[in-house]
Amino acid sequence: MIMKKGLLNKQTGQLGEDAAVAFLKSKKYKIIERNYKNKIGEIDIIAKTGEDLVFVEVKTRSSEKFGTPAEAVTYYKKQKIVNAAKWYISQNSTELNIRFDIIEVYGKVTDSGFDLEKINHLIQVFQEV
């Protein structure tokens, strides 16, 4: 497969998010939003489970050569997610508990689609920063 690196990374990220959504649905999460954007930032997935409103950052990698996917969620990225979530909540009042998760997706884009190796769901990884 011949593809420019940026396009491949974007496709890998999208397929990783698709895998994360399927994973959450299999765990009975209700997906409320995907790729939610506001003037503050973006949140990959907003979901509900039980009494929790969950803001999920998805990181997809083919290996841990440069660290785990979760390690790519920097302090700055966490700030952006929290602030985007605050904006979302200000526009969509909720009584639910707020949670911030990271889903690590390991896999590769292949000629036949996406070869998913594993998913790690890290629950309540950070709070307001």
pLDDT digits (tens, 9 = 90+) for 65-78: 889 999 999 999 99
Which residues, 6+ apart, have CB-to-CB distance to 4 below 8 Å? Answer: none
Tens digits of residue pLDDT in 6-57 = 666 778 888 999 999 999 999 999 999 999 999 999 999 999 999 999 999 9
Say which CATH class 5-122 falls into.
alpha beta
**Pick from 5, 13, 2, 25: nearest CA to 114:** 13
Output the pLDDT for position 98. Answer: 96
Domain ranges of the chain: 5-122
pLDDT of residue 112: 81
**Phi, then psi, of 74 in degrees rounded to 5:** -75, 170
pTM of the model: 0.90
Q: What digits encode the pLDDT tens for the residues 76-101?
A: 999 999 999 999 999 999 999 999 99
Q: Which of 1-5, 57-61, 90-94 is predicted least confidently?
A: 1-5
Residue 121, CA distances (Å) to 21, 51, 62 in order: 11, 18, 16
pLDDT at 1: 44
Residue 83 neighbours by CB under 8 Å, 6+ apart: 40, 41
Helices of type H across 2-126: 5-26, 75-91
Chain segment 99-109, per-residue pLDDT in tens: 999 999 999 88
pLDDT of residue 4: 55
